[in-house]
């Protein structure tokens, strides 16, 4: 059999989680919470199940959930998306992203990704027959370099993928960044896929930082698939429910693929989410919730020989390992998991060429006791 994805093995998240559980390590590798979600959310889903909402929902998602998503986007970012024609409920952000790519990328079309990038983007583009154009984020700071992005756009460019707050670097794009992107794309018909799964995890509001959704920028929103994930926002990564908001013409193309790659997303979870979303507090309180965990983890790590990078958003903290070890990132993460009992993710996993800058990613979406246990082990290094 000739493989369609020669460069692809098993995802780093699965590899590291498997090793962490084999070695009984504290798992700060794969991004997922180790604490429970709000019982109210579980009750809302259970209520939907027991009241018989268990058959196929409408292809695009249950109307009450699409209405709730639309209301949230309007309230937070000021644009009205039509719940019938512009919002689709997906099986997590993963399915949203591949579906958007399959819907718009023709064989030979170029798609720009900014490296380091989430590991599904490149294989998704390749499966669509697209040509991946990699533009590096600025080494060291991971800020977007708009001269490089601009230079990467060609007549063949179909789309660009962006991700803020960013996995793995935990940087957050500013309003000026978004305006620069809007200016660059203005004379083109390049589409935007904006991966905003960590939209509710932007820290340091007192320093004026806030999530700059592409929704806020008319010149971007008009060409964008906005992607988010309830898994991140409500601590339920295993439920695999997210959504895409996009102008009607793009949504129509998106749904042509969606109806054949997933068709629908599970019904009771959608109803449960819709009623839970009526209360905005859980997502409005999320930045403070995670900022406290970030600060707890950072203050612990600051006492070790790891060098901390900024964490402006997401639930990740990157750290430079050069004072701690001579190993490369990937070997270091395996060693750290096996010998020290803490799992982390090498940043090289987010680069096509495995670029190794001696930086690893920790996930702090964990109970305080888990974070403290990890710090105790890391402090030995
Ligand atoms: N994009 C990014 C940047 C992510 O970190 C993740 C989650 N790991 C996803 C997409 C996928 O989200 P989901 O679990 O909802 O499919
Ligand atoms: N997005 C999560 C991370 O970056 C993992 C999701 C997955 O395992 N595919 O850690």
User: pLDDT tens, 104-138?
Assistant: 999 999 999 999 999 999 999 999 999 999 999 99
> 29 CA distance to ligand 2 centroid (A)?
9
**Distance between Cα 168 and ligand 2 center (Å):** 10
Q: Give the per-residue pLDDT at 171.
A: 98
- Express each pLDDT in 168-220 by its tens digit: 999 999 999 999 999 999 999 999 999 999 999 999 999 999 999 999 999 99
Q: Give, using CA atoms, the residue closest to atom 5 of ligand 1.
A: 167
| Mean pLDDT, rounded, for 130-148 | 97
Instruction: Return the best residue to mutate from 20, 31, 315 for the ligand 2 pocket (most ligand atoms within 8 A of CB).
Output: 31
Ligand 2 centre from 30 Cα, in Å? 5
Q: What is the pTM of this model?
A: 0.98
* pLDDT score of 199: 98
Q: Which ligand is nearest to the CA of 124?
A: 1
* Ligand 1 atom with minimal separation from the 230 CA: 15
The interface pTM score, or ipTM, of the predicted complex is 0.97
Query: How far, in Å, from the CA of 197 to the mean position of ligand 1?
Result: 6
Q: What is the Å distance from ligand 1's center to 93 Cα?
A: 5
Tell me which residues have their CB closer than 6 angstroms to ligand 1. 31, 92-94, 118, 163, 167, 195, 197, 229, 231, 237, 240, 242
Average pLDDT of 49-56? Answer: 98
Report the residue among 32, 95, 333 best suited for mutation to probe ligand 2: largest number of ligand atoms under 8 A from its CB: 32
How many whole angstroms from 195 Cα to the centroid of ligand 1? 8
CA 51 / ligand 1 centre spacing (Å): 31
Residues 236-277 have pLDDT tens digits of 999 999 999 999 999 999 999 999 999 999 999 999 999 999
User: Of ligand 1's atoms, which has the minimum distance to the CA of residue 92?
Assistant: 15
* C-alpha dist (Å) from residue 297 to 103, 287, 310, 319, 375: 40, 15, 12, 11, 8
The predicted pLDDT at position 239 comes to: 98
**Nearest ligand atom owner, CA of 92:** 1
Instruction: Round the average pLDDT of the chain to a whole number and report it.
Output: 97
pLDDT 10s digits, 279-292: 999 999 999 999 99
Domains and CATH numbers, the chain: 12-30+285-378 (3.90.1150.10), 39-279 (3.40.640.10)
Q: What percent of the chain has pLDDT over 70?
A: 100
Q: pLDDT digit string (tens) for 266-281?
A: 999 999 999 999 999 9
């Amino acid at each position: 059999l000739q493989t369609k994805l020669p460069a692809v093995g098993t995802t780093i998240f699965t590899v590291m989680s498997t090793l962490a559980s084999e070695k009984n390590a504290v798992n700060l590798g794969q991004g997922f919470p180790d604490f429970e979600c709000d019982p109210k959310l579980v009750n809302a889903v259970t209520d939907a199940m027991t009241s018989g909402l268990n058959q196929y929902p409408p292809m695009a998602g249950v109307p009450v959930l699409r209405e709730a998503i639309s209301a949230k986007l309007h309230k937070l970012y000021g644009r009205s998306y039509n719940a019938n024609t512009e919002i689709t409920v997906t099986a997590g952000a993963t399915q949203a992203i591949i579906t958007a790519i399959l819907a718009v990328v023709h064989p030979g079309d170029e798609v720009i990704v900014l490296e380091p990038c989430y590991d599904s983007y490149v294989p998704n583009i390749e499966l669509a027959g697209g040509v991946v154009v990699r533009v590096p984020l600025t080494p060291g700071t991971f800020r977007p370099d708009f001269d490089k992005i601009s230079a990467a756009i060609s007549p063949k460019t179909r789309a660009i993928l962006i991700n803020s707050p960013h996995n793995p670097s935990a940087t957050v794009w500013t309003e000026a960044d978004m305006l620069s992107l809007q200016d660059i794309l203005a004379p083109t018909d390049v589409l935007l896929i904006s991966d905003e799964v960590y939209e509710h995890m932007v820290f340091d509001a007192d320093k004026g930082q806030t999530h700059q959704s592409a929704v806020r920028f008319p010149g971007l929103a008009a060409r964008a698939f906005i992607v988010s994930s309830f898994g991140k926002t409500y601590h339920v990564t295993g439920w695999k429910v997210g959504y895409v908001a996009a102008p009607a013409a793009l949504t129509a193309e998106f749904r042509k693929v969606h109806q054949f790659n997933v068709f629908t997303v599970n019904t009771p979870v959608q109803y449960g989410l819709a009623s839970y979303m009526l209360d905005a507090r859980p997502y409005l309180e999320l930045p403070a919730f995670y900022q406290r965990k970030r600060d707890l983890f950072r203050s612990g790590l600051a006492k070790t020989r790891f060098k901390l990078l900024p964490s402006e958003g997401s639930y990740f903290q990157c750290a430079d390992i050069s004072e701690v070890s001579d190993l490369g990132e990937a070997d270091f993460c395996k060693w750290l998991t096996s010998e020290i009992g803490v799992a982390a993710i090498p940043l090289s996993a987010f680069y096509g060429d495995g670029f190794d800058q001696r930086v690893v990613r920790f996930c702090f979406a964990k109970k305080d006791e888990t974070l403290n246990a990890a710090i105790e082990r890391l402090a030995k290094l």
